[in-house]
Amino acid sequence: MIVAGIDIGSRASKAVVMDDGTIISSVICDTGPESVKTSQMTMAKALEGTGLSLDDVQYVVATGYGRVLVPFASENISEISCHARGITWYFPSVRTILDMGGQDCKAINCDGDGRVINFIMNDKCAGGTGRFLEMIAEVLNIPLAEIGDAALNSSQPIPFNTICAVFAKSEAIGYLRRGVSKNDILAGLNEAIATRCLNLLKRVSIEKDFTITGGIAKNKGMVAKLREKVGLEPLLCEDPQIVGALGAALFARDRCRGIGTKDESRIHYGYSDGTGNYFITIDTGQCDGCGRCVPVCPSGIFEVAAGGDGQPKARVKDEARKKLALLCPGFYACNRCLEANCQRVCPKDAISHTW
C-alpha cells in the first residue's frame, strides 16, 4: 500500500512516500511563491527514482501552512497533529515536542500513540524562527548550514536585548562593526531564541522525553542551547525536518486501513485564492442524482453523471471547476436574488457552498 504525506511549510516543502511500514523516499524542497506548483514539484521529486507515479499513491495527506492548496491531496490535517504523529514513528516515548519551523514555533505535548494532548504556538511575531536565522546568516555572511557549528565555537555569547527580527538585525550589524566575533553574535542570538522557546514550552508542560523537530533542529548550536535551557537531553531523529510530512504519511496509511476514516462521500470542487475560499461540496452519500440543481443554476455549472459507484450523481462540470468563483456568484448572493437555486432545490440537502 503506497501512501504519501506532504508538508508545505512557509520556507521548505517536504514529502514522504511510504510503502506500508517503510519510508521509500523523502525530499525537502524550497517553497516557491505558488503553493500548488510547489506541491506538484515536491511530490514529483519524491516519486523520482521510485518507479512510482502519483496514480500509484493511494492516499495523500497534506499538512503545513500550504495544506489547503495541494490539488492531489485527499485530506488535510494540521501540522500540529502531524508532528505529534510523525515523532512517535521514531520515539514513542516522546511527550514534549518543540517544533521549530520557518515562520512559527510550536510546543506540543503528546501521548504514546502520537495524539496531541496540549499545544501552543507563537503569536503574530515570527522573531526567533527559521526565517529569522536565515536573515542573520545572511547579515553575518555565513552559510546557513554552518551557523550551528559557528555558534558552538563562541567563547563569550553577546547578550541580545531583543529577538524582534528588525531590531536584532540592526543590533547584530552594530556588533559586527565593533569587531565582535560572529560566533559570539550567533551564540547570543541562539541564547535569546532558546529562552523564548523555553517560555513556550513552559506554557504546555515539559515532560520526558523531549524532542526538537523542524528545520532548526538541525542547527547544533541551537540544540545545545536548548539542551542547556530545558535541562533535558533532546532525542533527535535522523531528519527532524521531515517529521511533519512523515506524520501526514502515517495518517494517510491509517486512512487506507480504515482508521479514523474521513467522510469519503463528500466531494469538494473549487479552490482558494487571495480573496477567499471558493468550494462547492456535494455529498454523494446523500445525492440521488435527481438533477434538480442542473436547470436552476444561473451559470449552468452542474451536470449529472455516473459516480464512483456507478449511480448517477450531481457534479460540477469539468470546465467550471477552475473558474468557479467567476461563474457561481456564491450561495449568499445567489439566494438573495433567485427563488430557486441549487442549495434550495436539493431535496437531499447535499450541496453546500463556502461563500
Partner 1 sequence: MVGEHSVMPVTVPRLDKAELPTLERFREVNATFPKTAEVLAHKRQGGKVFGWLCTYVPEEIIHAAGALPVRITGYSQETELEDGNAYLYINNCSFSRSCLQMGLRGEYDFLDGVVAGSTCDGARRLFDLWHYYIKTPFHHVLTVPRKYTEKAHALYYQQVVQFKQHLEEFLGIQITDDELRHSIEVYNESRALLRSLYELRKQDTPPITGAETMEVLDASFRMPKELFNQWLNDLLDELEAQDRAHKARARLMVVGSVMNNPEFIRSIEAQGGLVVTDELCTSTRYWSDPVVLDGDKSPLEAISRRYLNNFPCARMVPSDGRFGRILELARDYRVDGVVSQIIRYCVTYAHDLPLLRDKLKAQGIPMLALDVEYGTSGSGQIQTRVQAFLEMLEARKKG
Which residues of the chain form contacts with partner 1 (CB under 8 A)? 36, 54-55, 57-60, 62, 65, 67-81, 104, 115-121, 123-124, 260, 264, 266-272, 277, 279, 281, 308, 321-322, 331-332, 335, 343-344, 352-354
| Burial (Cβ within 10 Å: 0-12, 13-18, ≥19) of residue 273 | exposed
| Burial (Cβ within 10 Å: 0-12, 13-18, ≥19) of residue 36 | middle
Q: At its nearest, how many Å lie between partner 1 and the CB of residue 226?
A: 22
Q: At its nearest, how many Å lie between partner 1 and the CB of residue 103?
A: 9
What are phi and psi for residue 332, nearest 5 degrees? Answer: -60, -50
Q: Which is nearer to partner 1, 67 or 225 (CB)?
A: 67
Does residue 57 contact residue 17 with C-beta atoms inside 8 Å?
yes
* Residue 235 DSSP label: B
Q: Which is nearer to partner 1, 238 or 339 (CB)?
A: 339
Q: At its nearest, how many Å lie between partner 1 and the CB of residue 252?
A: 10
Distance CA 46, CA 275 (A): 31
Q: At its nearest, how many Å lie between partner 1 and the CB of residue 165?
A: 17
Which DSSP string do the residues of 10-62 spell out, in sequence order?
A: SSEEEEEEEETTEEEEEEEEE--S-HHHHHHHHHHHHHTTTT--GGG--EEEE
Q: Which is nearer to partner 1, 80 or 194 (CB)?
A: 80
Q: At its nearest, how many Å lie between partner 1 and the CB of residue 332?
A: 8
Q: Which is nearer to partner 1, 25 or 352 (CB)?
A: 352
Q: Which is nearer to partner 1, 76 or 219 (CB)?
A: 76
Distance CA 126, CA 135 (A): 12
C-alpha cell recorded at residue 116: 496531541
Q: Which is nearer to partner 1, 13 or 219 (CB)?
A: 13
Q: At its nearest, how many Å lie between partner 1 and the CB of residue 41?
A: 16
